[in-house]
Chain A
């Protein structure tokens, strides 16, 4: 029970510290604004606007998420180790393993919140722009208002209470985007040639879930690396590993049959292609639950292995 309280306290603080960093808000706001503005930026899509918006929005979300996962994990561990806050906490009766895992869980929670808002924005943007050149204002207007009002209200709240602006703006963005989704879902689309059942392209959520799992793997790798590296190298290595993972089939596929080194590298690299299933949505109406479970098991196993390495590294780390 005491261990659960300690774990929750450290994880909650890690999550709060992550969303309180200005860079987190900057990246999140850029991603959300980019997604909700997408219907207004695309022209001459030859009836493919829904697919283009969907693919672009999820790509933007994934790149933003990768950036946030790597920097937030790097900040939560590497910077705290350097700044000394980790020493103060570890001088208390907190096992090192718990500290490391709780920090990772806190960052993962922050990424989950980021993902929820990004997926809400994606659903709204796809609905708003699916009938290009017409715009569905019942989806576009609530989304735009959410992205504009959240920072404005957070600024006013900060002016009044002196509480951190960045976390308030981020949490209001999440709240307003979910509210916008609710409001938009309650309104029938005015466009008679709308392409989705029940107003929204809901199968996007299943791809979103897969991307959330993939971002969880990024968090695990970033946390493990941050026990030894600073923020910038953590970001570079994470980006490199997941880029190689994305291109794994292309780079290593032809050599898998006759090279044990290729097979070993292929097994160790995260198989990002398994989580990027947007093309599959064009061929099938949805992604089967069995596949989602298998992908979740793979992500959990890969993350657990990486976290074990991180734990070994952190147990041996000298905190000076």
Chain B
């Protein structure tokens, strides 16, 4: 499936919101606007798939918990969210952000919510990567007696 550029941008922020720590998202966006719920927050599961040998046929690895929500702002913008875990507030907030990103509020929401979340996700990733790098093995070859 080819993705349109506007879909790609939306995919970016929805993906970011799905993985955001719920408490952090709540801190960045404490007040929620009036919304009409199209699909109240619902906890469910998604079957995670892997591939045989990493590259072959798909197989069912196990499920993960996911919460989804759809809502509409007064201005008519519709927001959707699928977030990891069972936090309904997380899903509602993520859907509000998705909706706001389709309104003239987008620049403010990007600066106030998405930008900090993106930096923090990057930082979490880096924190593990630098610890992993410190455990990388540097092999060296011992000089044997008969070679001298």
- Same complex for A and B? Answer no
